[in-house]
């Protein structure tokens, strides 16, 4: 569904922020993008979305596939209501006639019916995040790129989001998810990509990480901590 090969992208401390990173995401696969602050996760996402100038490399999305991006910080317009945001997204992405039925289902799913005509600028962080989730998932994309989705979500909304993720995977959508929540990532992701200081430190399944780190029975957190410690 997605193939990424970034030779170099972005700048940090007068050098390229990301160097020699390659990975892929298959249909129906959930891949976790991991790394500490400044590791290069955001630069990688911006590069593969075409939001950076002057980067070198290649990004291939399956022919005809539609993708949706859910940023870490909700991007909303002060002068549009919640529902008008959905209409705008549907119009700009050629969502067809199905989007409205799908939008209403998701609005009910996330229990947002009472605020559809309100302005998101007045919403809490969690409610704004739900607007972004509904906007992305109503279009039934083939590929989702999701940056730190758990920020601001309460436990119930988090469970709802994870259930929705599983439904989309069963439908065949590929998902690249950037997250710091390693215990959840361990439970839901098929594979992991670990970045450190702008380079690819490790990638593979939990078992691969256990073998690479020497933490044969360790959790994902144990493996990541050991791998990062080895690089210091």
CATH number where 24 lies? 3.40.50.300
Where is pLDDT greater, at 175 or 151? Answer: 175
- Quote the pLDDT of residue 17: 85
Contact between 82 and 73 under an 8 Å Cβ cutoff? The reply is: no
User: How many residues comprise the chain?
Assistant: 232
For the segment 35-57, the average pLDDT, to the nearest whole number, is 90
Percent of the chain with pLDDT over 70: 97
Contact between 57 and 49 under an 8 Å Cβ cutoff? The reply is: no
Q: Are residues 217 and 146 in the same domain?
A: yes
Q: Are residues 127 and 38 in the same domain?
A: no
Q: Are residues 89 and 149 in the same domain?
A: no
Given a cut of 70, is residue 94 above it in pLDDT? no
Closest to 161 (Cα-Cα) out of 57, 50, 30: 30
Q: Are residues 99 and 201 in the same domain?
A: no
pLDDT band at 95; cut points 50, 70, 90? low
Closest to 228 (Cα-Cα) out of 193, 186, 195, 183: 195
For the segment 150-163, the average pLDDT, to the nearest whole number, is 93
Q: Are residues 147 and 214 in the same domain?
A: yes
For the segment 152-160, the average pLDDT, to the nearest whole number, is 93
Q: Are residues 197 and 170 in the same domain?
A: yes
Q: Are residues 149 and 215 in the same domain?
A: yes
Contact between 171 and 141 under an 8 Å Cβ cutoff? The reply is: no
The residue from 98, 117, 138 where one domain ends is 138
Parallel, antiparallel, or unpaired for β 143-147 and 67-70? parallel
Contact between 39 and 180 under an 8 Å Cβ cutoff? The reply is: no
Query: What is the count of structural domains for the chain?
Result: 2
What value does the mean pLDDT of the chain take? 92
3-state helix/strand/coil string of the chain: CEEEEEEEEEEECCEEEEEEEEEEECCCCEEEEECCCCCCHHHHHHHHCCCCCCCEEEEEECCCCCEEEECCCCCCCCCCCHHHHHHHHHHHCCCCCHHHHHHHHHHHHCCCHHHCCCCHHHCCHHHHHHHHHHHHHCCCCCEEEEECCCCCCCHHHHHHHHHHHHHHHHHCCEEEEECCCHHHHHHHCCEEEEEECCEEEEEECHHHHHHHHCCCCCCHHHHHHHHHHHHC
Residue 59: inside a domain: yes
What sign results for the dihedral spanned by CA atoms 183, 20, 27, 98?
A: positive
Containing structural domain, residue 96: 75-138
- Quote the pLDDT of residue 2: 96
pLDDT in tens, 68-89: 999 998 999 999 999 999 999 8
- Quote the pLDDT of residue 38: 86
Residues forming a β-bridge with 24 = 3
Q: Are residues 150 and 134 in the same domain?
A: no
Residue 204: inside a domain: yes
For the segment 132-137, the average pLDDT, to the nearest whole number, is 95
Given a cut of 90, is residue 151 above it in pLDDT? no
- Quote the pLDDT of residue 11: 76
Distance of CA 56 to the CA centre of its chain: 22
Given a cut of 70, is residue 186 above it in pLDDT? yes
């Amino acid at each position: 569904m997605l193939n990424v090969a970034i030779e170099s992208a972005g700048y940090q401390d007068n050098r390229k922020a990301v160097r020699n990173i390659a990975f892929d995401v298959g249909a129906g696969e959930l891949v976790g993008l991991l790394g500490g602050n400044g590791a290069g996760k955001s630069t990688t996402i911006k590069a593969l979305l075409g939001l950076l100038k002057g980067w070198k490399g290649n990004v291939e999305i399956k022919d005809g596939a539609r993708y949706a991006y859910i940023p870490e910080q909700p991007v909303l317009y002060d002068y549009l209501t919640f529902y008008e945001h959905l209409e705008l997204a549907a119009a700009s992405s050629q969502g067809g006639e199905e989007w409205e039925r799908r939008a209403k289902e998701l609005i009910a799913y996330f229990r947002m019916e009472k605020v559809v005509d309100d302005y998101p600028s007045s919403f809490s962080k969690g409610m704004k995040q739900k607007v972004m989730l509904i906007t992305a998932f109503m279009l039934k994309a083939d590929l989702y790129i999701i940056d730190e989705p758990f920020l601001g979500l309460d436990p119930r909304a988090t469970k709802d989001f994870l259930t929705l993720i599983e439904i989309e995977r069963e439908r065949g959508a590929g998902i690249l998810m950037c997250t710091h929540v390693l215990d959840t990532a361990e439970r839901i992701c098929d594979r992991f990509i670990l970045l450190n200081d702008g380079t690819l430190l490790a990638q593979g399944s939990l078992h691969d990480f256990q073998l690479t780190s020497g933490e044969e029975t360790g959790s994902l957190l144990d493996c990541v901590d050991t791998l990062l410690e080895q690089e210091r």
